[in-house]
Amino acid sequence: MAIWNREKDGPVTEAKVLDVLKRVQDPDLRKDIVSLGFIRNLKVDGGNVAFDLNLTTPACPVKDQMRDEAVALVKGLAGVQNVDVNMTAEVRSTPQMDRTALKGVKNIIAVGSGKGGVGKSTIAVNIAASLAAEGTAVGLLDGDIYGPTMPIMLGIDQPPKSINNRMIPQESAGLRFMSMGLLVKSDQPLIWRGPMAHRALQQCLFDVEWGNLDYLVVDLPPGTGDIHLTLAQQVPLTGAVIVSTPQDVGLRISMKTLRMFQQTRVPILGIVENMSYYICPHCNSRDYIFGEGGAKRAATELEIPFLGEVPLDLAIRQQSDAGAPIVVSRPESESAKTLREISRRVAAQVSIRAFSTLPVLEVE
Amino acid sequence: MASDATTPTKIKKLSPGELQILWADGHETRHLAPLLRGLCPCASCQDEMTGKRVILPLHIPDSLEFKKIELVGQYAVHFEFSDNHGTGIYSFEYLRELCRCPLCAR
């Protein structure tokens, strides 16, 4: 602690505290925490300093780092004896979300892939459950109208109740979810043309009583089609997460999905590589069955964030089939930790988007 | 693809038939409803396969007005005109491409 000379340095003031806190940068938003308005309820009482550090998400991947930095800097001020930081968070809303029919939803995250079978739904449900485990309000919409899997992965297949013609989402793993699979018997196929699928997605989106949500995760069907266009046109999507396997073929097809999002100006939050490697349950050695680092290279080339690698892990599949996402049912496992990390990176990217802008419309 | 030149910062209806768009690169575009209607990109106004125009600006009366203007997701604008036509989705790129100001017309 610095030696304090009251005559020379004068008392600790709020201005002095804010001045040193300006040196703490949010690495994602690339601005200092004072300009970003993160410092709230600053109190200076002699040598005691207390304030709230109000972040843009409780799932912030660098919150400990920012807190430690802030504490160290304020403690370095002459005359400061105690620093008390209260960590809070308030998820910011994507611009103009309040102008849509989904007023209570702050951010919509689409999860897509180029082809089927890359584990997109598994990643989507685990990202959603992870964000919920961080203490945020999360909804999950199974956008795969034709092949809904969420009822299996979340262990509920009872039809939703409805009040005043609005469906009440089912709850499982700490989140609210809606799926076509809740409305149609699981062995009954939906044989629909595009306009029907469009209408069904609209209903699952707008006719559901989501309540207030920090994040609504939408698990898209594979490829690029009606559902994707409906979503990109009906709501200002916060962004899209692309799931891919490391294999080149899988990746090239993912590029199509990526371009579709770019054409409709849906920001890309990043790529998740699934089935990155296989851990042998007997000897614990890693096998890169589909090649190593494919998605990471593509992400670097395309200058989009790489969100992480998820291994081919028997436990992930077993927990999904048993109706409880691994991040909830086995939170201590390596795979769960990896998925939690990925979801924090997604949350960080969403926070960046909340500070972006859409055109102002003055047409009345 | 998105760039400052194709990213609007403000879209304003100046009069029933005139629209102002301010772009992130500082450019300003003014669009008249009859011209936008005449160059509607929807499948009934231009052939889906050949791109040949079915409706042309010369088919549209000068008195045509905007009835409704709204954003489509975050990449386009949807207009409904006073002749009740409203199936066109005008991407930001298209709206910039159609700019007829002296600078762009050159």
Each residue of A46-83: pLDDT tens digit? 899 999 999 999 998 899 999 999 999 999 998 999 99
Parallel, antiparallel or unpaired: strands B8-15 and B18-23: antiparallel
The answer to whether B2 contacts A265, with C-beta atoms less than 8 Å apart, is: yes
Domain membership flag for residue A168: yes
* Cross-chain CB nearest to B73 (options A237, A262, A361): A237
A64 plus A107 within the same structural domain: no
A70 plus A179 within the same structural domain: no
DSSP 8-state secondary structure symbol assigned to residue A276: E
The residues that bridge with A279 in the sheet, in sequence order, are: A286
Place of tokens 């559901």: A208
pLDDT band at B1; cut points 50, 70, 90 = low
Domain hosting A22: range is 10-89
- How far apart are the C-alpha atoms of A36 and A14, rounded to whole Å? 17
Q: What is the mean pLDDT of residues A123-140?
A: 96
Q: Answer for the pair A306, A271: CB distance below 8 angstroms, yes or no.
A: yes
Closest by CA to A312, choosing from A278, A272, A281, is: A278
Q: What is the mean pLDDT of residues A187-196?
A: 76
The pLDDT value given to residue A232: 86
Domain membership flag for residue A136: yes
Q: Answer for the pair A304, A255: CB distance below 8 angstroms, yes or no.
A: no
pLDDT of residue A19 exceeding 90, the answer is: yes
Q: Does B90 touch chain A (CB under 8 A)?
A: no
- Compute the nearest-CA separation of A99 from chain B (Å): 10
- How far apart are the C-alpha atoms of A138 and A132, rounded to whole Å? 6
Q: Does B59 touch chain A (CB under 8 A)?
A: no
A126 plus A182 within the same structural domain: yes
A132 plus A245 within the same structural domain: yes
* Cross-chain CB nearest to B75 (options A234, A264, A364): A264
Convert chain B into a string of H (helix), E (strand) and C (coil): CCCHHHCEEEEEEEECCEEEEEECCCCEEEEEHHHHHHCCCCCCCECCCCCCECCCHHHCCCCCCEEEEEEECCCEEEEEECCCCCCCEEEHHHHHHCCCCHHHHC
pLDDT exceeding 70 applies to what percent of chain A? 95
A341 plus A308 within the same structural domain: yes
Element (H, E) at A195: helix A194-206
- Compute the nearest-CA separation of A344 from chain B (Å): 25
Q: Answer for the pair A158, A170: CB distance below 8 angstroms, yes or no.
A: yes
- Compute the nearest-CA separation of A258 from chain B (Å): 12
pLDDT of residue A44 exceeding 90, the answer is: yes
Most confident stretch, A349-353, B34-38, B48-52, B101-105: B34-38
Main-chain dihedrals φ then ψ at residue A308, nearest 5 degrees: 145, 170
User: Mean pLDDT of all residues in chain A?
Assistant: 88
Q: Which fold has domain B33-105?
A: NE0471 N-terminal domain-like (3.30.2020)
A274 plus A293 within the same structural domain: yes
A222 plus A261 within the same structural domain: yes
- How far apart are the C-alpha atoms of A295 and A272, rounded to whole Å? 8
Q: The domain that contains A46 carries what CATH number? A: 3.30.300.130
CA atoms within 13 A on the CB side of A214: 24
Q: How many domains does chain A have?
A: 2
b or e along B73-90 (b: 16 or more beta carbons within 10 Å of the residue's beta carbon)? bbbbbbbebbeebbebbb
Kindly state the tokens that stand for B88: 């066109």
Interface test with A, best of B18, B67, B74 (most A CBs within 10 A): B74
Q: Answer for the pair B79, B73: CB distance below 8 angstroms, yes or no.
A: no
pLDDT band at A183; cut points 50, 70, 90 = confident
pLDDT tens-place string over residues A278-320: 888 788 888 888 888 888 888 888 888 999 999 988 889 888 8
The pLDDT value given to residue A314: 85
A163 plus A303 within the same structural domain: yes
pLDDT band at A4; cut points 50, 70, 90 = low
A123 plus A77 within the same structural domain: no
Q: What is the mean pLDDT of residues A16-45?
A: 92
A338 plus A235 within the same structural domain: yes
- Compute the nearest-CA separation of A358 from chain B (Å): 7
Kindly state the tokens that stand for B92: 């930001």
Q: Which residues of B touch A205 (CB under 8 A)?
A: none
Domain finish residue from A71, A89, A107: A89
Q: Which residues of A touch B76 (CB under 8 A)?
A: 233, 264
Domain finish residue from A41, A67, A89: A89
The answer to whether A359 contacts B71, with C-beta atoms less than 8 Å apart, is: yes
Domain extents for chain B? 33-105
Kindly state the tokens that stand for A350: 């969403």
The answer to whether B8 contacts A364, with C-beta atoms less than 8 Å apart, is: no
Q: Which residues of A touch B1 (CB under 8 A)?
A: 262-263
The pLDDT value given to residue A298: 85
Q: The domain that contains A181 carries what CATH number? A: 3.40.50.300
pLDDT of residue B84 exceeding 80, the answer is: yes
The answer to whether B11 contacts A362, with C-beta atoms less than 8 Å apart, is: yes
pLDDT band at A5; cut points 50, 70, 90 = low
A29 plus A148 within the same structural domain: no
A30 plus A117 within the same structural domain: no
Domain finish residue from A56, A89, A122: A89
DSSP 8-state secondary structure symbol assigned to residue A181: G
Which carries the bigger pLDDT value, residue A57 or residue A356? A57
Dihedral sign computed on CA atoms, order A338, A111, A247, A348: negative
